[in-house]
Amino acid sequence: MNFDSAVDLSKAVLQPVEFPSPIPVKILMKRLDLIHPFIHGNKWFKLKYNLINAAEKGYKTLLTFGGAYSNHIYSTSAAGKEFGFNTIGLIRGEQHLPLNPTLKFANENGMLIQYVSRGDYRDKHSREFEEWIFEKFGDVYIIPEGGTNLLAINGAAGIPSLIETDYDYITTPCGTAGTISGIIGGLKGEKNILGFAVLRGADFLIKNTKKNVLDYSGNEYTNWSIILDYHFGGYAKINRELITFIREFEEINGIGLDPIYTGKMMYGIFDLALKGFFEAGQTIVALHTGGLQGIAGMEGRIKLLF
């Protein structure tokens, strides 16, 4: 099976963008969100080698984990439908009906939705939890939360090679640290790499990234950091300032941003640039990691802000 034929990497154009106020640096957005209608952004790169591995080993079913608004759940369900895998999503928390747009899409793709209590979800890496999975669902191929494992990191390591211009920084949102780990490994000490944590109390992402990079490359690179200041209260948390920024950005550039990942990163880049974090004249490449389907699920909360 030719997995690469499903996506069109030529659509990942490098697009200059502007902000509501002038800044002294050049910002280019790498449009990874355009490579596939559903398996797009960083998710394709994190899923690719897992899909290949599952197929080569003869697995028929993919099982993975995520929250109710998870881009990973969304994309894994689409990949299962596209490539002929059954899919199971273990969702953190309690069932809420009707399903939000992300879970509705996953369900329509044939994904079996199984809710897991928050306490059990925290123990998802334990041997007991894994045994429960195999007892309940049989011989399944397990993909970790956010898709992050060494195969995913290997996929993300290919992202920098798609950037067709010179630049000083590459930036990405961070949820599980898989994408930034791959970028660090792929760049092998070159350029500057910034991650923007999208959840509160995310110091653990720094530790995870160090381990991921060492496991993947055997090296400890120092040309990266993860910014912890732009989570807006936590994962999937928003406020009026963020949503106003996202709307202004779309009006100026014609590019939609999701409020969970890329929107927070772009706000962070803008704010850091205004504060002089970057040197004047530098070029920053920001990865658009997709996830626009998350907007629909948050419309109710967004309306309450205005």
Confidence of residue 196 (pLDDT cuts 50, 70, 90): very high
Please give the DSSP secondary-structure letter assigned to residue 84. Answer: T
Q: At a CB cut-off of 8 Å and minimum separation 6, what does 161 contact?
A: 186
Average pLDDT over residues 196-220: 96
Predicted confidence (pLDDT) per residue in 148-163, tens digit:
899 999 999 999 999 9
What is the rounded distance in angstroms from the CA atom of residue 278 to the CA atom of residue 283? 9
Q: What phi and psi values does residue 117 have, to the nearest 5 degrees?
A: -60, 155
265 membership: H or E segment, kind and range = helix 262-274
Question: Where along the chain do the CATH 3.40.50.1100 domains lie?
Answer: 3-38+150-304, 43-147
For the domain covering 43-147, report its CATH number: 3.40.50.1100
Predicted confidence (pLDDT) per residue in 41-98, tens digit:
999 999 999 999 999 999 999 999 998 888 899 999 999 999 999 999 999 999 988 8
Q: 291 by DSSP, 3-state: which?
A: coil
* pLDDT for the residue numbered 302: 85
* pLDDT for the residue numbered 68: 87
* pLDDT for the residue numbered 303: 83
Percent of the chain with pLDDT strictly greater than 70 = 100
Confidence of residue 165 (pLDDT cuts 50, 70, 90): very high
Average pLDDT over residues 122-151: 93
Burial degree of 82 (CB within 10 A; 0-12, 13-18, 19+): middle
What architecture is domain 3-38+150-304? 3-Layer(aba) Sandwich (3.40)
Predicted confidence (pLDDT) per residue in 1-36, tens digit:
788 888 999 999 999 999 999 999 999 999 999 999
* pLDDT for the residue numbered 43: 94
